[in-house]
């Protein structure tokens, strides 16, 4: 499968595919008539790359994770990376929850004032 076919079929942006190729992690990918050809193991790695991008890893973090994935005995390092990203996501969620609570407090105060104003008119 060519880079264009992989991009279209699996909805992987071309810049991510080109980045993957630049990292030299393509494994069995071979150039055939000037085009990279992807096999199933490449598509599995690309799926991991897309997941890492989707969960907020920077390109540099994705590259490091993928290089670690190619090495034996790196589970602890990769797990640490995932745990750090999870902790950051939880911090962001908690921050957003506090924002929502403050927003709801303000909305409640306005509605309460509207109700009181409506009751005094009657």
Q: Is the pTM of this model over 0.85?
A: no
Do 36 and 95 share a domain, yes or no?
A: no
| Token output for 78 | 């990769």
8 Å CB contact between 89 and 59: no
Do 18 and 60 share a domain, yes or no?
A: yes
Do 95 and 115 share a domain, yes or no?
A: yes
Do 66 and 83 share a domain, yes or no?
A: no
Instruction: For the chain, 122 residues long, give each residue's pLDDT as a single digit of tens.
Output: 777 887 888 888 888 888 877 887 665 455 555 566 777 777 788 889 889 989 999 989 999 999 999 899 999 999 999 999 999 999 999 999 999 999 999 999 999 999 998 877 65
Domain carrying residue 30:
1-71
8 Å CB contact between 16 and 49: yes
């Amino acid at each position: 499968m060519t880079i264009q076919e992989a991009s279209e079929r699996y909805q992987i942006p071309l810049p991510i595919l080109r980045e993957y190729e630049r990292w030299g992690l393509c494994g069995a990918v071979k150039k055939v008539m000037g085009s990279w050809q992807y096999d199933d193991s490449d598509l599995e790695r690309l799926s991991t790359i897309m997941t890492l991008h989707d969960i907020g890893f920077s390109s540099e973090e994705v590259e490091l994770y993928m290089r670690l994935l190619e090495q034996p005995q790196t589970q602890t390092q990769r797990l640490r990376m995932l745990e750090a990203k999870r902790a950051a996501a939880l911090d962001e969620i908690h921050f957003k929850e506090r924002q929502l609570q403050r927003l709801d407090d303000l909305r409640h105060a306005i509605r309460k004032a509207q109700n009181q104003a409506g009751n005094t008119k009657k």
